[in-house]
Amino acid sequence: MSNLAEIMPFSKLMGIEVTDAQADKVEGRLTVRADLCTTGGIMHGGAIMAFADSLGAIGAFLSLPEGAAGTTTIESKTNLLSAAPENSVVLGVTTPVKLGKKLSVWQTRVETEDDKLIALVTQTQLVL
């Protein structure tokens, strides 16, 4: 599969790998590097949010209504629930909560490889 994150410059910079991408579910992974961390060698909350936003954006793009030009995030809420240490791998699974003509809402679970929940992110995408 072509890595859809490669077409988004920031996602490419972060090193996001999309492992599965369908209109009803997007999965990805990211290695927690030192440059994605904050004090104490744990993944920065902004990096967690950006990871989830990228996966949600791909899902929104893949599920666009016919004739739509694109999508953009207009709202995002993140619950940071646990830490992801440097050198670990985080996994994200994004699924739609609601798909509409003008908006779609996506929820992403970010977990470690050993199933520890790191964050729960809900975002709203505007259809352009």
Task: Tell me the per-residue pLDDT of 52-93, one tens digit each, with 9 for 90 and over.
Answer: 999 999 999 999 999 999 999 999 999 999 999 999 999 999
Tens of pLDDT, residues 2-57: 577 778 899 999 999 999 999 999 999 999 999 999 999 999 999 999 999 999 99
Token pair recorded at residue 116:
């520890």
d(C-alpha 34, C-alpha 15), whole Å: 12
Range of 75's domain?
4-127
Question: CA angle, 114 as apex, 45 and 120 as ends, to 5°?
Answer: 35
| Tally of domains in the chain | 1
Residue-level pLDDT at 1 = 47
* 6 or 121, higher pLDDT: 121
The candidate with the shortest Cα–Cα distance to 75, out of 52, 97, 105, 45, is: 105
Q: So what's the pLDDT on residue 4?
A: 76
Give the pLDDT of residue 2. Answer: 57
Listing DSSP states for 75-108 in one string gives EEEEEE-S--BTT-EEEEEEEEEEE-SSEEEEEE
What is the model's pTM?
0.95
Predicted confidence (pLDDT) at residue 117 exceeds the cutoff of 80 = yes
H-type helices in the chain, by residue range? 9-14, 45-62
Report the C-alpha dihedral over residues 86, 50, 78, 35, rounded to 10 degrees. 30
* Euclidean distance between CA atoms 32 and 72, whole angstroms: 26
Instruction: Enumerate the β-bridge partners of residue 104.
Output: 99, 125
Instruction: Using the structure block, give the residue that is written with the tokens 């953009």.
Output: 72
For residue 54, what is the domain's CATH number? 3.10.129.10
